[in-house]
């Protein structure tokens, strides 16, 4: 038995908003169809959504939401990010912190991202732990740029372990910058995106922004700085302790990492894993644990992941049945 299509009218009628909502050749509507596994047909401001009732209701709510914000062109990126926000929206969720960067609409896209930003603002040391794609590094850099813009810090210091935990860079060609640049590139990319190439270049010249491998932090005390340690899962416990004790007066530190991507040699403990246990109850230190649902990705990816999970669960069940009689 087919379900009856859901029909809705977007009001008040505004042809410019309708054009922005639908996109070129209705490409934005195709994004909504993919996200909610529905079919969308329209005639003017009248829309018909066909699919499973719950999904149709969610797709209709998304249409109303995007229509309400379609006073300007809606890119595919804006649609995809908006879909992530809608899927994670909670009525009681407090307003997300506002960040002063070149990205005027930058804010947490999931409840944990919002919590992460709030913890960075409220604590001197914050850990962001979780899988790639959850925005740990990007949001940390955005918070650093925001602090610099508000003049709550005098400089930004970004660091990460390079090559390996021991950071033996001598065999690589070039000077220090050329040796470590490939490993620090994600930090450069985030800065360029948030501040613009020219401003970043000027900030490097004035030493307002510094990027360096972790080994070069030893012996320093950093005052009035926003310090970010990225890829912290590849630090040793000694390196992590060294980094945390670099903080000086008026400084703030954010440590990010993914404990499922540890590249340390066999037998070496991760400084991030140890710090997570040692510092769990230390007052003034916050920890945000990101999960898979915090990954900001194309809506189709979630369906691909779900399909693989169902396939693997079915395969495991069939394997268990085949082995059963032998038991």
Question: With the C-alpha atoms ordered 62, 68, 70, 72, is the resulting torsion angle positive or negative?
Answer: negative
The tokens describing 253, both together, are 């530190």
CB atoms under 10 Å from CB of 278, counted, come to: 14
Q: Which of 209, 190, 79, 77 is nearest to 135 (CA)?
A: 190
Task: For 234-275, write each residue's pLDDT tens digit.
Answer: 999 999 999 999 889 999 999 999 998 888 888 889 999 999
Say what the pLDDT of residue 165 is: 39
Relative orientation angle of helices 299-323 and 27-36, to the nearest 10 degrees: 30
End-to-end Cα distance, the chain: 44
What pLDDT does 90 receive? 44
Provide the token pair at 117.
């930003």
Question: Which pLDDT value is given to residue 166?
Answer: 43
Q: Which CATH superfamily hosts domain 6-88?
A: K Homology domain, type 1 (3.30.1370.10)
Tens digit of pLDDT for each residue in 296-326?
766 666 567 667 778 888 888 888 888 765 5
Provide CATH code, domain 111-294.
3.40.50.300
- Alpha-carbon span 61 to 72, nearest angstrom: 19
Q: What is the pLDDT of residue 1?
A: 41
Joined tokens for residue 288: 């945000």
Q: What is the Cα–Cα distance from 302 to 35, expressed in whole angstroms?
A: 9
Strand order in the sheet with 209-213: 209-213, 155-160, 225-229, 252-257, 125-129, 285-289
All structural domains of the chain with their residue ranges: 6-88, 111-294
Indicate whether 60 pLDDT > 60.
yes
- Which is it for the CA torsion 62, 67, 72, 73, positive or negative? positive
What span, in angstroms and rounded, lies between the C-alpha atoms of 270 and 327? 40
pTM score:
0.65
pLDDT of residue 91: 39
């Amino acid at each position: 038995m087919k379900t009856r299509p859901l029909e809705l009218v977007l009001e008040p009628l505004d042809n410019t908003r309708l054009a922005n909502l639908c996109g070129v050749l209705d490409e934005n509507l195709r994004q909504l169809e993919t996200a909610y596994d529905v079919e969308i047909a329209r005639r003017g401001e009248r829309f018909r959504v066909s699919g499973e009732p719950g999904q149709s209701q969610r797709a209709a709510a998304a249409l109303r939401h995007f229509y309400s914000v379609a006073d300007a062109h809606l890119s595919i990126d804006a649609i995809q990010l908006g879909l992530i926000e809608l899927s994670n929206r909670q009525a009681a969720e407090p307003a997300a912190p506002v960040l002063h960067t070149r990205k005027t609409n930058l804010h947490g896209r999931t409840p944990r991202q919002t919590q992460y930003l709030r913890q960075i603002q409220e604590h001197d040391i914050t850990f962001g732990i979780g899988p790639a794609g959850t925005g740990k590094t990007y949001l940390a850099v955005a918070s650093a740029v925001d602090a610099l813009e508000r003049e709550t810090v005098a400089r930004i210091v970004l660091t990460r372990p390079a090559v390996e935990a021991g950071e033996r860079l001598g065999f690589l060609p070039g000077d220090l910058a050329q040796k470590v640049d490939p490993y620090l590139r994600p930090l450069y990319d985030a800065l360029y995106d948030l501040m613009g190439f020219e401003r970043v270049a000027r900030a490097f010249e004035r030493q307002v922004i510094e990027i360096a491998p972790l080994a070069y932090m030893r012996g320093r005390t950093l005052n009035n700085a926003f310090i970010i340690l990225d890829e912290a899962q590849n630090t040793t416990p000694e390196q992590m302790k060294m980094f945390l004790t670099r903080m000086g007066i008026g400084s703030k530190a954010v440590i990010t990492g993914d404990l499922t991507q540890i590249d340390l040699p066999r037998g070496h403990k991760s400084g991030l894993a140890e710090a997570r246990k040692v510092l769990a109850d230390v007052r003034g230190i916050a920890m945000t644990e990101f999960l898979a649902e915090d990954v900001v990705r194309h809506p189709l990816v979630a369906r691909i992941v779900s399909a693989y999970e169902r396939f693997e669960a079915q395969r495991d069940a069939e394997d268990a049945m085949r082995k059963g009689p032998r038991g």
